[in-house]
Structures are given as structure tokens and as C-alpha cells.
Amino acid sequence: MPNYRFQARNTAGQIQAGVLSADTATSAAAVLRNQGLHVVSLSPAGTEVAAGVGEFIKRMNARKPTTKNVLDFTTQLAVMIRAGINLRAALDGIADQTTHATFRKVVMQLKEDVESGKQFSEAIGKFPKLFGPLYVSMVRASEMSGSFSQMLDRIAGYIGQQIETRKMVVGASIYPGIIGSLAVSVTVFLLTFVLPRFYTIFEGKEDVLPWATRFLMNVSHFMTAEWPFVIGGVVALVGLLIVVIKTDVGSFWVDKLKITLPIIKGMFQSLYISRSLQTMGQLINAGVPMLDTLMITGDISGNQLYKGMWHRVHSSVKQGRKISAPLIKDGLLPKSVVQMVSAGEESGKLGEVLDEISGYYAKQLKDQIKAVTSMIEPIMIVVMGSVVGFIAMAIILPIFKMSQLVK
């Protein structure tokens, strides 16, 4: 017999709630009425779980749209425009197919703006976090040249490559992160759970203990006795680092370390060069003015040093100079790249040259990621083994030494 959850009002006007068993909802309501109660709500027990699941799905769909949503939208829009469907109808169709609730609202807003007579570039400009300056500029250029669908294909290809690049970089950092976390966890476990078990053995024998054992015992004692301060200190330190990194000075030094540290600098240099030159090439080929191209390239580069370089190039070009002149002074781009940029500028084929260079560095980035991963793995294993081995030897050696003294 199914259960029904109810809310009912008694003769005194008070609300009562509970669960009762009945064959049907009608039978349950009749039982309540026979008890002199006025039924306020009646539902099968367990629907709260379903409602909770539905609410969770709603919250998931209410999360912020991702770059993948923008890529899917751009690809679908390019196909529909190329098939001869007008922009308003295409946006309406995409909105019907979009399962992401928040992004559907964005698409519907774009449709309303287009219906009101606004340019598509103006409509997407209202959502700068989804459609960045590169997207808006390329769409605006296509509206002037009449190559809307082709430009959307180009934008979709650019977004897709940036997503793939980001996945590669993130994937390369997962394994070292896991190994590092494991090393810290094992070290903390040995210091807080294993070493304290030897306190009674080592107590009163500090004079004969090696310095490493005495050092680790002091660290272990501090961590176990003052663990609230240790945890608080770690949390405070992490919070302080996050705050510092978010400042202009902190992010500048982080960006500088990325392109100067021996193991990872090649990977990050390839990443920033590939991203910058691909962005610049796409904008030039789309017909975006050079000054706008340089500003957008700097903003999208992802590194403050490269951003500053492209903004200095912007200032130089604004004064009538060539692009290659300030690039040589900065030294962030290899001389061979600057020479090719100069040659493309002279020949009038800068967009094509930049596409070729960015493609080369995109391939080099993949090789650099593999190389960095292959180098970091043994380094992390050696570091982890050294730390654990040091702690183990600091525990075992005194025991051997004391056993020899006893003999």
C-alpha cells in the first residue's frame, strides 16, 4: 500500500503534517476528511527525492556557460546560415535545441536584439565574458564583408583549437599534481602517525640519536601538539598566496616564472607564441584593423609580459612604425619569428605567415608538453622517494644503533 505525505488544517486552523497509507490519493484524502481535517496538500511520499533531483539538475543547468557552449553555438549557427536559414530563425532553432538553461536565455536575448534591428556583433557584445573581443571583432568584420558563415567557421576552428590547447596544458599538470599531493600526504602521515609511535623508544636517548632523527622528532612533536596552528598557518599561507597572485605584481611574477623556469619555460613560450600569433593571424585575415588586432592580441595572450609586448607594438604602430621593430627589442619572440613577421609585413602576406608560424608552434607545444611530462615524472618520483627514504632512515638507523649498544 503506497504512502502519502500530507498537510492538513484542523478545526482550530493549525497545520498538521504527516504520512499515511492508502490505496489511492482519493482514499487518503477521504481518511483525512473523516478525521475532520481540511486537506492543504497531498502527494506520494518520495516525490521530495525526485523534486530534489530535479532541483539539482536545475542548479546544474543554471551554472555559467562554458567555452564549449560557445563553440557548439558557433558551429551550429555557421551550418544553419550556410544552409540559407536567416539569422533570426537560426537563433530560434538553436535556442530550442540548447539544453543549458542559462545559455538558452543568452541565445533568446540575441534573437530579441536581432529582431529589434541590432547588428549581431552589437548583440553579442552585451556578453563579453562569453563572446570576447576577438569574437566580436571578427563578426563585425564579416558583417562588413558579407562572409558571415565563413567567418563563423573560422571562429569555431579558433575556439576549438584553444580548447584543445587548454586541455593539453591542464592534462600535463595533473600527474605532477597527483604525485606532489601524494608526497605531501605520505610525509604528513609519517610525521604525525608513524614517528610518534617511536617516542617511547627514543625518549631519554637524545644524546645518541642522529641529528636527522632529533630534527624530525621536534617537527613531529610540533605538528601533533600544535596541529590547530599548523592547519591554520597552512590555510593562511595558501590564502595569502592566492591573494598575492591575484594582484598585478603577483601575477606578473608568476607569468615571468612561467617563461624563465628551466623545465617549463619552453612549453609556456610555445603556448603564448602560438596563441598570440594565431589570434593576430585570424584577425588580420578577417579584415580587422591592425591597431584593434594588436590590442586584442595582447589581451588574449594570457601572459602579462606578452600582453605588455603587444601593447608596446600597438603604440609603435600607432606612431607609424613597423610591427617588427619593437618585437626585436623585447626579445620575447625568437629572432627567426621576428624575421618571418617582418618578411610577411613587407610582402603584404602577414596573415598567412602568422597562420603558418602559429601552426608550427602549436605542434611544438604538443612536443613540449610530452617532454615536460616525461621529465617531471622521474623528478617527482625521486623527490618523493628521497623524502620518504630520509624519514625512514631517520627512524631505522637509531634503532640499529641502540641494538648494537645493547649487545
Q: What are the pLDDT digits (tens) for 318-358?
A: 988 888 888 888 888 888 998 998 898 888 888 889 989 98
57 grid coordinates: 539538475
pLDDT of residue 47: 46
CB contact at 8 A, 391 and 213: no
DSSP string, 179-201: HHHHHHHHHHHIIIIIGGGGHHH
DSSP string, 17-77: EEEEE-SSHHHHHHHHHHTT-EEEEEEETTHHHHHHHHHHHHHHHTSPP-HHHHHHHHHHH
Query: Distance (Å, rounded) from C-alpha 128 to C-alpha 147?
Result: 22
Select from 53, 405, 60 the least CA-distant residue to 209.
Answer: 405
Lowest mean pLDDT across 15-19, 214-218, 383-387:
15-19
β-strand partners of 8:
16, 39
Asked whether the predicted pLDDT for residue 26 surpasses 80, the reply is no
% the chain with pLDDT above 70: 90
Mean pLDDT of the chain: 83
Asked whether the predicted pLDDT for residue 78 surpasses 50, the reply is yes
| pLDDT per position as a tens digit, 127-140 | 988 898 888 888 88
- Longest C-alpha distance within the chain, in Å? 97
The predicted model gives 186-212 an average pLDDT of: 78
pLDDT of residue 239: 92
pLDDT of residue 56: 46
Asked whether the predicted pLDDT for residue 405 surpasses 80, the reply is no
Residues 6+ apart with CB under 8 A from 327: 309, 313, 333, 338, 341
Triad 201, 206, 208: Cα angle to 5°: 95
Map residue 176 onto helix, strand or coil. Answer: helix
325 grid coordinates: 621593430
Angle between helices 350-406 and 211-225 (to 10 degrees): 110
As a whole number of Å, the end-to-end CA separation of the chain is 78
pLDDT of residue 379: 83
CB contact at 8 A, 282 and 297: no
| pLDDT per position as a tens digit, 88-119 | 888 988 888 888 888 999 999 999 999 888 89
**pLDDT band at 37; cut points 50, 70, 90:** confident
Residues 6+ apart with CB under 8 A from 119: 140, 143
Select from 20, 64, 60, 66 the least CA-distant residue to 39.
Answer: 20
The predicted model gives 289-294 an average pLDDT of: 89
CB contact at 8 A, 350 and 293: no
Query: Distance (Å, rounded) from C-alpha 83 to C-alpha 406?
Result: 91
Surface-to-core class of residue 106, CB atoms within 10 Å of its CB (0-12 exposed, 13-18 middle, 19+ buried): buried
Give one word for 37, left, alpha or beta, with left for phi > 0 and alpha for psi -120 to 50: beta
pLDDT of residue 237: 92
Select from 268, 258, 297, 295 the least CA-distant residue to 280.
Answer: 297
Amino acid residing at 14: Q
Amino acid residing at 345: E
% the chain with pLDDT above 90: 13
Q: How many CB atoms are located within 10 Å of the residue 25 CB?
A: 15
**What helix, strand, coil percent values describe the chain, rounded to 5?**
75, 5, 20
Select from 192, 195, 193, 196 the least CA-distant residue to 227.
Answer: 192
CB contact at 8 A, 171 and 163: no
**pLDDT band at 240; cut points 50, 70, 90:** very high
pLDDT of residue 13: 67
Alpha helices in 319-349 (DSSP H): 324-330, 335-347
| pLDDT per position as a tens digit, 244-282 | 888 888 889 999 998 998 888 888 899 899 988 988 888
Question: How many helices and strands (H and E) does the chain possess?
Answer: 18, 3
